[in-house]
Amino acid sequence: MAIRDQMNEWPVAVCCRILNVARSGYYAWLASSQGPGSLRKQENMALSERIEQLHDQSMQILGSRKIHHQLTQEGVKVGRNRVHRLMRKMDRRACYVPRKRRYARVLDPARPNLLERQFDNPPAKQTWVSDITQLRLENGCWFYLATVLSLPNRRLIGHSMSLQPREELVIKALEMARRAEGLTHQGLFHSDQGVQYRGERVRHWLLQHGFAQSMSRKGNCWDNACAESWFSLLKREWLKRWGAQPHARTKRLIQEYIEYYNFERPHGSLGYKTPYETVLPLKSGVQ
């Protein structure tokens, strides 16, 4: 008000600078204090009120395009850009959660079944079988375990645990198996057709270390029965008695069972010897 009173004596810019007031703010106040304003302003106020009503009636789901359509159905002559501008000014927008985009992974085709369930007399001296299982933690999250067993003695030579079922889970288990058993030429690696085993990194690791890759037939769990039966023993003999546990506790329980299974548990198919007491037969390579 002081600036308006001094307009005849001093320029507006000088008054605004002395009073530390923005000129745009002063002119906006001046326009609002001069009554209801222009016809366009009155129309915008009426439009904004109706837009607000329509938006609330739709539970704030509709956006400017559909709000504009409803206004034209009511006989209101208004452009969509104007509706969009008024909604943006009122901070009104369509409320929705964008759907997740899923991108198809490029996977290698499934490999043929070279093992053919020859668990007790595998076709290669160094034959490994592998699988992944998921376990429920105390907080409701999933916990993933990948294992690598050596045939025919069923010795668990590699494992890896993670909260994410990625290729890295299999790679870590394979690296542990390599350190535990060493490598010979013409090895055989068998698994199911899971995406982790068909990924480029796993395929490259097997080729680099001289393993032929074998996979179970689609939907046939018996083709990888040795690997799956180990998970059944882990859950039935050990984990189920404790129920869902925290992450760190679950890892300790799994490690305890692996030590017991390899060094102390008698295996019926091995003449009641432990896996570490069983000597592997000599084989020349994949037949």
Same domain, 192 and 271: yes
Question: CA-CA distances (angstroms) from residue 142 to 138, 191, 235?
Answer: 9, 21, 15
Same domain for 273 and 161: yes
**Band of residue 92 on the pLDDT scale cut at 50, 70, 90:** confident
Give the domain-ending residue among 61, 89, 117.
Answer: 89
pLDDT at 287 (0 to 100): 42
Domain ends where: 89, 115, 141?
89
Q: How far apart are CA 274 and CA 261, in angstroms?
A: 7
The answer on pLDDT for 81 being more than 70 is: yes
- pLDDT at residue 285 in the model: 46
**101 in a structural domain:** no
How many domains does one find in the chain? 2
In a domain, 206, yes or no: yes
Q: At 271, list the tokens.
A: 């003449």
| pLDDT at position 281 | 45
Do 142 and 84 fall into the same domain? no
Which of 42, 71, 89 marks a domain boundary? 89
How many angstroms separate the Cα of 192 from the Cα of each of 112, 135, 227? Answer: 11, 18, 10
Q: Is residue 122 part of a domain?
A: no
Same domain? For 32 and 154 the reply is no
What per-residue confidence (pLDDT) applies to 8? Answer: 58
Structural domain of residue 29, as residue ranges? Answer: 2-89
Residue recorded with tokens 């990924």: 199
CATH number where 168 lies: 3.30.420.10
Q: What proportion of the chain, given as a percentage, has pLDDT over 90?
A: 55
Would you say residue 106 lies in a domain?
A: no
pTM exceeds 0.75: no
Over range 221-248, report the average pLDDT: 93
CB-based burial label for 58 (10 Å; 0-12, 13-18, 19+): middle
Q: What percent of the chain has pLDDT over 70?
A: 82
Together in a domain, 145 and 266:
yes
Task: Write out pLDDT tens, residues 153-184.
Answer: 999 999 999 999 999 999 999 999 999 988 87
pLDDT band at 150 (very low <50, low <70, confident <90, very high): very high
Same domain, 23 and 160: no
* Residues 140, 259 within the same domain: yes
